[in-house]
Amino acid sequence: MASGYQSCAQNPFLAGTSASGSLFYLKDHNIMSLNFTGRVAIVTGAGGGLGKQHALALAARGAKVVVNDLGADVHGDGGSVSAAQAVVEEIRAKGGEAMVNGASVTDYEAVKAMVQQTMDAWGRVDILVNNAGILRDKSFAKMEIADFRLVMDVHVMGAVHCTKAVWAIMQAQNYGRVVLTTSSSGLYGNFGQANYGAAKMALAGLMQTLSIEGEKHGIRVNCLAPTAATRMTEGLMPPEVLNALQPQAVVPAMLVMASEDAPNRTILCAGAGSFEVAHITLTQGLHLGLHDDTAEQLAAALAQVKDPAGQMVPLSGSAQGGHEIAMALAAHSA
């Protein structure tokens, strides 16, 4: 396999997509361009919006792409592969390789068939971008349980189905890049999106564990937290804001996480050309021991427990217990 990088001087076609979906060139020809030649990618929810831009960008940089989309509306209703087929035709018209798949990510058997279709055609799966999603926004008081369950099913179980279907293949290859799409609504909360927020935070938790389990097999798993104007956000933001949040501005973050030199266990945030990393942290806290009034002591000292000074990013769930035991032992030996 190639090194994963190729200069623009060697291949100026390697770039991305403009706001219109057409190819553009990197302005600084001294920057090494990420190259996906020989890689095979599956992108779910790729018939439009952010998923379409992911597929176009990967194909423009040399990847063979499975464009998956059920073709449902933003609420998950209906279904047609016409939008996904149009993306495939656009990729092929520019000299790339792509094929369409209309599997619902909620149907594990259909997802496994999609992966088998990919293996039959191209013999490997290097990259999985879990992008498929829907919205059923309402305040929690007014939300139907069915709407909560459906959003969880599409976002969480959809990502689980797709990732599980490629996991053994990536283990055997000793190589894989998995991108899960989380959201600021999950990381920080957003009114009217209890179902969506719960699903998106669940994906961050899934990433935390899969990144640990996959590391020894060369599989790197990360989360993308996008802010972009798509069908899913057009009713939530004013036009001038939506205009600034072109989906193409999020794509570079996906490309980095799908590349050979991708990070692992990172929540990369992207929007309007800006990029940040979100962390799930643990404060230094305070050891209070176990007494009849420990609850009262904690209430009085809660500001100190919440103090972010010296907070850490645990390497795994066991770090919390390790930190607590260390504080307890230190207190007892004092």
Considering the candidates 5, 25, 175, 196, report the single residue annotated as catalytic. 196
SS3 at position 171: helix
| Burial of residue 237, with CB atoms counted within 10 A of its CB: 0-12 exposed, 13-18 middle, 19 or more buried | middle
Partners of residue 121 on adjacent β-strands: none
Strand pairing class (98-101; 127-130): unpaired
Beta strands in the chain (DSSP E): 5-7, 16-17, 23-24, 32-34, 40-43, 64-68, 98-101, 127-130, 176-181, 219-227, 267-271, 274-278
5 labelled catalytic: no
Nearest in space to 270 (alpha carbons), one of 231, 306, 225, 237? 225
Report how far Cα 36 is from the mean position of its chain's Cα atoms.
18
Tokens (6 digits) for 172? 């055997």
Q: Which residues are catalytic?
A: 196
